[in-house]
Structure 1
Amino acid sequence: MTDCLFCRIAAGELPADIVYQDDDVVAFRDLHPQAPHHILVIPRRHVATVNDFAAEDAELIGKLVLTARDIAGQLGLAEDGYRMNLNTNEKAGQTVFHVHLHLLAGREFGWPPG
């Protein structure tokens, strides 16, 4: 999608602080971090919301989670803990309609969230 901000980042058309990328996913630092470490992990393929994933996307969904886990490990965040979050639709806080997993770490998080 040519007007999707995250598609444009994934295509290299817009600058981002990329921390990981492969053929399926791209991970980059959030421009408006909510924690000392705030990284977004996105599929390269445009999927607007989690509701738009199909059963055959299970491997891609797993790759988003495992990529976030691996990044947390590489940054030395695994021992202290980290949070992963997927917002789905506007009332849940989704502002960019391209699925993105938030990896947050570096501070204590409360429960329940927001």
Structure 2
Amino acid sequence: MKTIATLLLLLTTPALAEGSMPDFSGAWKRDCEKSYGLQISHTKDNQFSITFCFPAGCNDHAWIAGTAIAGDPKFKVVSESKIGVRRVDRPDAWLTYHRCSRDPASWKGTSSVDRLGEANSDPSPK
């Protein structure tokens, strides 16, 4: 009976069965078509640094540094590609983010200089 219980535990918790924690690194957005969201970078000891990103790029400092995400009360892990972030104004509510890329450096934002160049570009059809 003990063997069956152990087997069931391993089957229902894949992270334990594989011996590894999930890697949440990447670009996360509420809607992958939007130009703002979160950049999650792996640091050390299965910890992550979370930075807000906007169309102009990402903040220079982390919003949350040194979190495991899994087990942190500020987060709810739904799957490896979907997490909830606890709302500050309503602690019983969550903002859902989807992983849009596994590479945190893939964050695509345009700088204000690039946006200015686009605004001054030739509008004539080609």
Specify the TM-score bucket, using the shorter chain as the normaliser: under 0.3
The structure with the greater share of residues assigned to strand is 2
Q: Which gives a bigger RCO, structure 1 or 2 (Cα 8 Å, sep 6+)?
A: 1
Normalising by structure 2, report the TM-score: 0.24
Say which one has the larger Rg: 2
